[in-house]
Amino acid sequence: MVHEKWLEEMNSKKMSRRSFLGASGKTAFATAISFTIPYSIENKKADASFTFTENPFTLGVASGDPLPDGVVLWTRLAPNPLAEDGLGGMTNINIPVHWEVAEDESFKKIVRSGTEVAAPELAHSVHAEVHGLGAGREYYYRFKAGNKMSLIGRTKTAPEYGSHIKNLTFAFVSCQSWTGGRYAAYKNLAEENVDFVVHLGDYTYEKRDTETLADFRINHALYKTSPDLRAAHAKFPFIVTFDDHEIENNWAKDVSQSDREESNERERFLALRAASFQAYYEHLPLRVRSKPQNGQILLYRKFTYGDLIEFNVMDTRQYRDDQASEGFPGGPLAPEASDPARTMVGSEQAEWLLKSLSQSRARWNVLAQQTIMAQFDYDTGEGISVNHDQWDGYRADRDRILKFIEYRRPSNPVVISGDWHSSWVNDLKKDFNNPHSKTLATEFVGTSISSGCGWKDDVEAALSVNPHIKFFNGDYRGYVRCQVTPKSWQSDYRVVSSASNPDATVSTLASFIVKNGKPGALRIGGVDVSNIVANTMFSGKPSPVSVTLSNGTAKAVEVDVSINVPKNWKSERVTIVLEPSGSSTVEVMVIPPAQIPVTEKLSLEVNAGKKTQVFGASLDFEAVSVPSGDTLLLALDSGSATSALLPSFSRLSPEDIWVAAKGYGWIGTAPSARDRNKLDELQRDFTLSRNTPTILRLAVPSGVHRIYILTGDASYASGNTVIRSEGRLLAESGGEFNPGQFKWIPFELDGGMEGREIDLEITGALKDGYWRIAALVMLP
């Protein structure tokens, strides 16, 4: 089965309850061992005792914390996931949940099974720790509660301790603000072939009103309404740790960000923290040892993959001293930031970490943690400006770790970080102020899944005074895929083409390699593709698509650029030779179909030969074509009263009320207009309204004429635009459109024998209720 298709196909299979019970009957022995229901719970015939009318597995399934002999399986019963009391539509009773682990996706070879109690105290979440599995193997699992069965998840155990591992692939992610963007990164990650995913925090973001346990539960449930997040969980085991936003921005130990000195503040914050920890545990595949106790949660822990790699998963929030200073993204370096008495990790965790590093026999030793460890000075002048929430604000702890690495020399230390919503590759230096000092370790900072990077310009402006930063990009959301062998570690910065488009495609922005024994990453040279521009094209006419190509290698490279087009399009192929480190903008011509307006998703194909990789953001782009205005009966570029017009087109702005001589215009309440200042004359602006309906009158000449209306929005997602006339539905765009996605909607108007005036009644639906018109044309 094609790897990426397996989950969908597997989960579309109808599975009868009978086969589930039949299968579990064969493993009665394993069931008995794992049967952990307390005696007080009524449990006559466990699986049949409760009838759900709705699917209780709305939040999906997950596995996590892989060890050589097993994983923890997670689910939560929530037939109504966003129920206001935070209980997911469940009542106040215990429900036995049966689980099964099989070697095959059809569950013919079930190897372990058991029952856990989903209790209201834990929001009916289930954390089933499975033991006795084979090391380094793939398994499938599912749950059953009452009369309902969950979808099937896939997981993989860690290899045997000390065993020789030739390669391992994993991804790390962080920062998935629900309002920041969509989860195209997860959608694409779910189609990768990785052994597991490490989540470095900001799994959820607090809202102004997240205060109670119910609030935190609802917030987690909201995030899990994303099918893409659920798909990633169902496909790979996750190793998770939190950062600040699971509770609130920049919290530290028992101190709220707001630093208010009111007497009840600490108490209030500890209650908030306890509620957040509880909900975090309830919604993630964490082992029972991480279950919060007395308002604390144990998250720092170790994962070993044979002799190849060891992960020290850290918690840099719960034990840290309060930030020495504020200022965003940086502020003048506070003297307290270097105070040796202050800590980022706490003494116990520090001891655990250094001990772990000194005892490790793995080739690569990872510190999986939250904030950027490398020094970064935001001040390009005399002063020093740092972010005190990151390791720059906790210099003593950073020095302790880096000194330990320098003197005890654990094998290949690599730090992976999140928090900062941008992609970085950093040298961790013995002396950050001296570019010639020794590089002790490598840091890879992954961009966010969805959260935005409003401080990109501040970072870019200061890169020149921070030469140990080898790479920075704040434009794209995504994840980092790491391919590790005994000889090398490769990090691929996988980014999606758009933060707001749930279907955005993924590409590799850049790749870096660390060689065994040589700290510091080297960029893998290739051809970088950027700035694809395709303006509105005229039907049947050669139209340019421009793209910038840069050669990141030390050799001249011949690059072949073409455009994949549908049958009725034509396109040319361009070959260009790029000098070493050379860059060039090339135009590739395409010819859209003649005479009719078309919207089409096209993609560039860039080939630099077998030895040279191609990097960059997505190669997909949206093409819009329209016949030249002088061949049309009516050619209207809709938008504001002053914005630029597509050549050969006339203006349709809110000011164009009906005038018979012009042959078009609004009747009654006119709409408003938006100019997104993005894309070309036709696509950048449009008229819109949600007054129902807005009337646009057209003078239609005799005979039947085809009309096309272009709808879409350069910057935001848009909804359905609906056209009616004389009480009849003429056309609608349907569905929701992604930002930058446009569609021509066609319909016919009959001018009769002598021509007549016809009123279009335009309404919006879906999304925000607005209709949008970027252009309107009438064919002869």
* Cα 667 from chain centroid (whole Å): 44
Query: Looking at this protein, which amino acid is placed at residue 409?
Result: R
Shortest Cβ distance from residue 451 to Fe ion (Å)?
5
Shortest Cβ distance from residue 512 to Fe ion (Å)?
22
Shortest Cβ distance from residue 241 to Fe ion (Å)?
13
- Mask of contacts with Fe ion, 569-608, x by CB under 5 A? ----------------------------------------
Nearer to Fe ion, 447 or 451 (CB): 451
Question: Which one of 56-64, 408-416, 450-458, 637-645 is the stretch in contact with Fe ion (CB under 5 A)?
Answer: 450-458
Half-sphere exposure of 45 (CA within 13 A, CB side): 6
Shortest Cβ distance from residue 554 to Fe ion (Å)?
37
Nearer to Fe ion, 80 or 249 (CB): 249
Query: Looking at this protein, which amino acid is placed at residue 705?
Result: H
Shortest Cβ distance from residue 245 to Fe ion (Å)?
5
For residue 185, state whether it binds Fe ion (rule: CB under 5 A).
no
Q: How is the beta sheet containing 543-551 ordered, strand by strand?
A: 570-571, 583-591, 543-551, 526-533, 613-616
- Mask of contacts with Fe ion, 350-389, x by CB under 5 A? ----------------------------------------
* Radius of gyration for the alpha carbons in the chain, expressed in angstroms and rounded: 29
What the block records as the tokens of 280 is: 């975090």
Shortest Cβ distance from residue 35 to Fe ion (Å)?
41
Nearer to Fe ion, 116 or 248 (CB): 248
Shortest Cβ distance from residue 370 to Fe ion (Å)?
9
Shortest Cβ distance from residue 197 to Fe ion (Å)?
17
Nearer to Fe ion, 275 or 449 (CB): 449
Residue 614 phi/psi, 5-degree rounding, is: -110, 125
Question: What does the angle CA 14 – CA 93 – CA 143 come to, to the nearest 5 degrees?
Answer: 25
Evaluate the omega torsion of the peptide bond into residue 329 and state whether it is cis, within 30 degrees of 0. yes
Question: Which one of 196-204, 359-367, 398-406, 719-727 is the stretch in contact with Fe ion (CB under 5 A)?
Answer: 196-204
Write the burial class of residue 224 (CB in 10 Å: 0-12 exposed, 13-18 middle, 19+ buried): buried
Shortest Cβ distance from residue 244 to Fe ion (Å)?
8
Between the alpha carbon of residue 18 and those of residues 24, 97, 107, the distances in Å are: 10, 16, 13
Nearer to Fe ion, 71 or 495 (CB): 495
Shortest Cβ distance from residue 184 to Fe ion (Å)?
17
Contacts of residue 140, Cβ cutoff 8 Å, sequence gap at least 6: 10, 101, 102, 103, 104, 105, 107, 152, 153, 154, 155
Question: Which one of 197-205, 283-291, 395-403, 696-704 is the stretch in contact with Fe ion (CB under 5 A)?
Answer: 197-205
Nearer to Fe ion, 175 or 428 (CB): 175
Nearer to Fe ion, 63 or 451 (CB): 451
Question: Which one of 127-135, 451-459, 653-661, 687-695 is the stretch in contact with Fe ion (CB under 5 A)?
Answer: 451-459
Half-sphere exposure of 447 (CA within 13 A, CB side): 31
From CA 65, how far away is CA 236, in angstroms rounded?
11
Nearer to Fe ion, 113 or 448 (CB): 448
Shortest Cβ distance from residue 286 to Fe ion (Å)?
20
For residue 202, state whether it binds Fe ion (rule: CB under 5 A).
yes
Nearer to Fe ion, 201 or 740 (CB): 201
Q: Using CA atoms of 751, 753, 757, 762 in order, give the dihedral in degrees to the nearest 10.
A: -20
Question: Which one of 71-79, 102-110, 443-451, 598-606 is the stretch in contact with Fe ion (CB under 5 A)?
Answer: 443-451
Contacts of residue 689, Cβ cutoff 8 Å, sequence gap at least 6: 669, 671, 672, 762, 764, 770, 771
Shortest Cβ distance from residue 249 to Fe ion (Å)?
9
Nearer to Fe ion, 246 or 307 (CB): 246
**In 191-332, alpha helices (H):** 213-223, 227-235, 265-282
- The DSSP code for 596 is S
Shortest Cβ distance from residue 317 to Fe ion (Å)?
12
Nearer to Fe ion, 229 or 614 (CB): 229
Write the burial class of residue 498 (CB in 10 Å: 0-12 exposed, 13-18 middle, 19+ buried): buried
Shortest Cβ distance from residue 174 to Fe ion (Å)?
7
Question: Which one of 170-178, 578-586, 592-600, 603-611 is the stretch in contact with Fe ion (CB under 5 A)?
Answer: 170-178
**Size of interface with Fe ion, in residues (CB under 5 A):** 3
> Scanning the structure block, which residue is given the tokens 């000889």?
487
**Cβ–Cβ contacts within 10 Å for residue 710, how many?**
27
Shortest Cβ distance from residue 175 to Fe ion (Å)?
3
For residue 173, state whether it binds Fe ion (rule: CB under 5 A).
no
Q: At what angle do helices 347-359 and 395-408 cross, to 10 degrees?
A: 20
Q: Are 529 and 769 in contact (CB under 8 A)?
A: no
Question: What does the angle CA 528 – CA 569 – CA 621 come to, to the nearest 5 degrees?
Answer: 35
Shortest Cβ distance from residue 163 to Fe ion (Å)?
36
Question: What does the angle CA 708 – CA 714 – CA 717 come to, to the nearest 5 degrees?
Answer: 90
Question: Which one of 74-82, 173-181, 477-485, 716-724 is the stretch in contact with Fe ion (CB under 5 A)?
Answer: 173-181
Evaluate the omega torsion of the peptide bond into residue 693 and state whether it is cis, within 30 degrees of 0. yes
Q: Are 582 and 559 in contact (CB under 8 A)?
A: no
Nearest to 366 by CA among 309, 296, 427: 309
Q: Are 597 and 637 in contact (CB under 8 A)?
A: no
Nearer to Fe ion, 195 or 202 (CB): 202
Secondary structure element (H or E) that encloses residue 407, with its range: helix 395-408
Residues 747-766 that bind Fe ion (CB under 5 A): none
Nearer to Fe ion, 418 or 525 (CB): 418
Question: Which one of 155-163, 199-207, 379-387, 569-577 is the stretch in contact with Fe ion (CB under 5 A)?
Answer: 199-207
Question: Which one of 19-27, 194-202, 370-378, 392-400 is the stretch in contact with Fe ion (CB under 5 A)?
Answer: 194-202
In the list 168, 175, 682, 749, the residue contacting Fe ion (rule: CB under 5 A) is 175
What the block records as the tokens of 338 is: 């270097």
Nearer to Fe ion, 157 or 451 (CB): 451
Q: Are 708 and 597 in contact (CB under 8 A)?
A: yes
Nearer to Fe ion, 246 or 443 (CB): 246
Residues 248-267 that bind Fe ion (CB under 5 A): none
> Scanning the structure block, which residue is given the tokens 């569950």?
107
311 has which bridge partners?
303, 366
- Mask of contacts with Fe ion, 402-441, x by CB under 5 A? ----------------------------------------
Nearer to Fe ion, 27 or 276 (CB): 276
Residues that bind Fe ion (CB under 5 A): 175, 202, 451
